[in-house]
Amino acid sequence: MTTIKSALLSVYNKAGLEPIVQALADKGITMYSTGGTEAFIRKMGYEVLPVEGLTDYPSILGGRVKTLHPKVFGGILNRRNEESDIAELATYDIPSIDLVVVDLYPFEETLAAGGTESELIEKIDIGGISLIRAAAKNFRDVLIVPSSSQYAALLDILQHGGAQSSLEQRKEMAAAAFEISSHYDAAIYSYFSKESEGQALKISESRSRALRYGENPHQQGRYYGDLEAIFDKLHGKELSYNNLLDVDAAVHIMEEFVDEAPTFAILKHNNACGLATRELLSDAYTAALAGDPVSAFGGILIANREIDPQTAEAINELFCEVVIAPDFAEKALQILQSKKNRILLRKKAAQLPKQQVRTALNGYLWQEADSKTDTEADLSYPCDRKPDAREQQDLLFASKIAKYTKSNTIVLAKNLQLLASGTGQTSRVDALEQAIAKAQKFGFDLDGAVMASDAFFPFPDCVEIAHKAGIRAVIQPGGSIKDQLSIDYCNENGLAMVITGTRHFKH
């Protein structure tokens, strides 16, 4: 155990500091400080020694240099069991410092608030980060409190631990200190490198939660991130690893329809098994469920409108894991809360990440998120027949779904309703045949339906199979050296085809 006899305090966030200062004073612990923290302590009426008195140097360069001095860092870094260190402290009249309390300048908060570059530069902490690293390095003798989030732990040591810390406590705080300093530096690096090509990959996320397990019960799992920034959890059990993957897929696909008429989607294993747009949300749900009422069991449901009581009554007849919406009417919420484990999430207007990272072999793959949505302005019309207004609307609707469906995929749609999709197949023909069989299984008439493909057709076989099933219009990215074969088939058989010029693979 090490007894705290002296402390250096240099914090930006003074909230919660008052009881710390009071406890230090009550224990007779010598306090050193500078700048705003020193003024805060004096205002409380307690004695505090200015760092300038220790160093014989004033704060200079507009406060940029205050604590960077051998008498400060010698007091922190000296090894209490090294005779040579003890002798040098005596020679240079350096007092030992047993506790360092720091809270860094708010760089990330200033960035999030849209601060100018000059404001951001001044929020890059130099002295504070150096104090953190020095104290954490010497954890065998020094206790580091690296942010205001650790004030409670320090207060417990001061009030209930006799101002004594164990080696285990100091090492735990040192780990927290290096986590905070590395996260801080990663945020600064990310800002400076945002326009660089091929920069190093730095990912730092301090917030995390343990999951019941990973993808399977024998795998451990954690979520790193701030779910509360995206959702208000209104009801139900904790989200699982697989829930989170499905919720991510659901949120992304519904982003494509956020400004559309009432739209409802049902997802299973990251793919939409039902999706429809209607004038009423309850009708959109009914049409989405009709797309695949079997796969909907245990699925993830998401809407682009507030869930009303009528829609809630219909949803309540289905076993589902999660329901997501911008809001829930009070009566609808009461209805859906009747199932104790059903997770209800109110989605906030949060921006989704613009980049994606995943592990691959012994490294990582990075890419920009696929933010391209196919619109009417992107389309070219290589065939003799152009799609009519209804077909064109359905084509763009189907293209949005295909963008978020596992490749290889084919999506069949009609009247703004997903009829069926072929998902994750090793050939495009297999995906199409799967979609046709599924649509027919659930009683859909494919006559006049449209087909969307996430990638080009290398041969005309897909348009031929689709035509024979009743498909009358096709949307695809094009780009095959044999595009003309598919175009010729469409012309010979009266099909319309539009080309987007953008592939949407999803693996």
Q: Active-site residue numbers?
A: 137, 269
3-state helix, strand, coil in the chain (%, to 5): 40, 20, 40
Helix (H) or strand (E) holding 55: helix 51-55
- In 10 A of CB 234, how many CB atoms? 16
Cα gap 307→6, rounded to integer Å: 59
225 secondary structure, DSSP code: S
Residue pointed to by tokens 């140097």: 57
Own/partner contacts of 176-182, CB < 8 Å, gap of 24 or more, are: 176/146, 176/147, 176/150, 177/132, 177/133, 177/135, 177/136, 177/144, 177/146, 178/133, 178/136, 179/206, 180/104, 180/132, 180/146, 180/147, 180/206, 181/129, 181/132, 181/133, 181/136, 181/146
- Contact between 305 and 265 under an 8 Å Cβ cutoff? The reply is no
> Any idea of the CA torsion for 128, 132, 134, 140, to the nearest 10 degrees?
150
Find out whether 64 and 57 touch, Cβ atoms under 8 Å. Answer: no
Distance of alpha carbon 110 from alpha carbon 380, whole angstroms: 45
List, as one string, the DSSP characters of 132-166.
HHHHHHTTTT-EEE-SGGGHHHHHHHHHHSTTEE-
Cα distance between residue 448 and residue 3, in whole Å = 81
